[in-house]
Structure 1
Amino acid sequence: MPAVGAPPERSAAPVEVAAFDFDGTLTRRDTLLPYLWRGLGWPRFLSALLLSGPWLAAFALRLMSNHRAKARLLQVSFKGRTEAEMAQWTAVFVGHYLPVQWQPDMLARLRQHQQLGHCCVIVSASPGIYLHEVGRVLGMDAVICTELESHHGALTGRLATPNCHGEQKVRRLQAWLAARGLQKPIVLHAYGDSSGDVPLLNLADYANYQGQPWVRKPSDHPNAPRA
């Protein structure tokens, strides 16, 4: 009970969080394959695709999860490569390739959120080997993404986290918010461009899909009965 004469308690102002997908949202297109071919060179890139071919084909036919197919491609592309080598790839990629790939409208949205003092995060299935540098360049508060395992300064080729796609985006963002004590009230803004972003868009108070306001279908509601 408040003391006599004490001013009435005020509810805490909500924390505003803006969560952005990366590929196709902040950028014009997917970035993983361009990162691979620019780093590996065409012969080794084509070899990686051939070695991953059965997994990629199974995913295209919906016979395998994107997690397993992506894990295979990353394994054959990165296993044994040093963190120093990846840093060199990333510096060239972020410095020379990405500047012509930004979506101007989405960058403007990001800058607007930042100017308003909102907490801005990237939530993406792209790998952290280059996405953390992207986050630094953009001034993000956090990057939540697919992390690769390393041992003694070299990549093992294995994933250190699940592929940050679909429901994983929601789980990872909620875990990040909880770890930093950002409990409710939270106002969440979310931006995405594909089906893998739908769970995150449905979680948001304000959501934007491919540049347009997201309209949640009744079947998309988190509490809707599942078939």
Structure 2
Amino acid sequence: MNQKFAIFDIDKTVIHTDSMFRFLKYGIRKKPSTAPIILKVVLHSVLYKLRLLDAEKAKSAYFHAMRHMDDADLKHFYETELKPAIFPDAMKEMQRKKSEGYHVLLVTASPDAYMRYFAELPCVDTVIATKLSVRNGRFTSMIEGNNCKGEEKVNRIQQYLNERQLTIDYAASCAYSDSLSDLPMFGLVKHKYLINHKSAQGCEGLTWNR
């Protein structure tokens, strides 16, 4: 079935912050003895910038606290740190698109462990996120498969479409992101919007205030 889609990145697009940094700080507050992990985060970030470490391993340091958290903790993180950070303009846009019959899809490189809760918003149909491995019923800090960024977002969206026998109505669909790293995702739709950036690469700039 041909369906019109509204596709949104989450970090600094739907919310005004970076959820990974928020989670890192949240984890340290919850368990202060894990504070030295900051040194590992810095090291992994430098190695990633130097292309000496892949994204999956670099990001895993940010999620060190996962091993100490259950679903209730992760839900609390979403409710207290992420949901309040939603741009009012983003919420209005998602609600408007949903009311107009769009399939509202959130696609993020951040982990499903806490991003999945955005699917509880009535205006959101599905969240596609980076997968973390699960051990003994709890999420670990290790990424399972590929980091959901760039071309991988397109791969994951296509998998989602195939599973539901859907196709994107290119001419009617739209996508929103704060970053040109999402150009592959923008290629799936005609209407492309850069959040809090000037127009670039065929994308229209939109300003969303906190």
- Of the structure 1 ranges 89-98 and 166-175, higher mean CA displacement relative to structure 2 is found in 89-98
**Cα distance in 1 for residues equivalent to 2:102 and 2:26:** 34
From 202, 209, 215, the counterpart of 2:194: 209
**Structure 1 residue 31 displacement after superposition:** 1.2
SS in 2 for 1:144: strand
Alignment of 1:39-50 (within 5 A): 39-41=27-29, 43-50=32-39
TM-score by length of 1: 0.77
CA contact (8 A) 2:108 2:148 kept: yes
Cα 1:46–1:72, aligned 2, differ >3 Å: closer, same or farther? same
Task: State the SS of the aligned residue for 2:4.
Answer: strand
Q: Deviating runs (4+, > 6 A) in structure 1?
A: none
Distance apart, 1:185 and its partner CA: 4.4
Tell me if structure 1 keeps the 8 A contact 2:150–2:185.
yes
Corresponding position: 1:69 with 2:58 = yes
Cα shift at 1:66: 2.6
For the structure 1 residues 26 and 44, does the alpha-carbon distance in structure 2 shift closer, same or farther, using more than 3 Å as the test?
A: farther
How many corresponding residue pairs? Answer: 200
The alignment partner of 1:172 has SS state of: helix
Over 3 Å counting, the alpha-carbon distance change for 1:215 and 1:54 in structure 2 is: closer
Match of 1:9 in 2: none
Counterpart pick for 2:89 among 85, 101, 105? 105
TM-score (norm 2): 0.83
Tell me, what secondary structure is at the counterpart of 2:35? helix
Alpha-carbon distance between aligned partners in 2 of 1:181 and 1:34, rounded to the nearest angstrom:
36
**In the superposition, relative to structure 1, how do residues 34 and 96 fare at CA in structure 2: closer, same or farther (>3 Å)?**
same
What's the secondary structure of 1:203's corresponding residue? coil
Residue in structure 2 matching 1:33, options 13, 16, 21? 21
Distance 2:129 2:19 in 1: 13
Q: Residues of 2 paired with 1:159 and 1:136: CA distance?
A: 23
TM-fit CA distance, 1:44: 4.0
Q: Is 2:10 the partner of 1:15? A: no
Residue 140 of structure 1, CA deviation: 1.6
Partner of 2:205: none
Match of 1:136 in 2: 120
C-alpha distance in 2 between matches for 1:20 and 1:45: 33
Structure 1: segments with no counterpart, 5+ residues = 1-11, 218-227
Report if aligned partners of 1:207, 1:214 keep a CA contact under 8 Å in 2. Answer: no
Q: Is the contact made by 2:8 and 2:14 (CA closer than 8 Å) also made in structure 1?
A: yes
Unaligned regions of 5+ residues in structure 2, if any?
203-210
CA–CA distance in structure 2, aligned partners of residues 201 and 97 of structure 1: 28
**Once the two structures are aligned, what percentage of the paired residues are identical?**
25
What letter is aligned with 1:165? K
C-alpha distance in 2, partners of 1:201/1:154?
Answer: 34
Q: Distance in 2 between matches of 1:39 and 1:121?
A: 28
**1:65 and 1:126 mapped to 2: Cα distance?**
15
Task: Please report how far the alpha carbon of residue 190 of structure 1 lies from its aligned counterpart in structure 2 after TM superposition.
Answer: 0.7
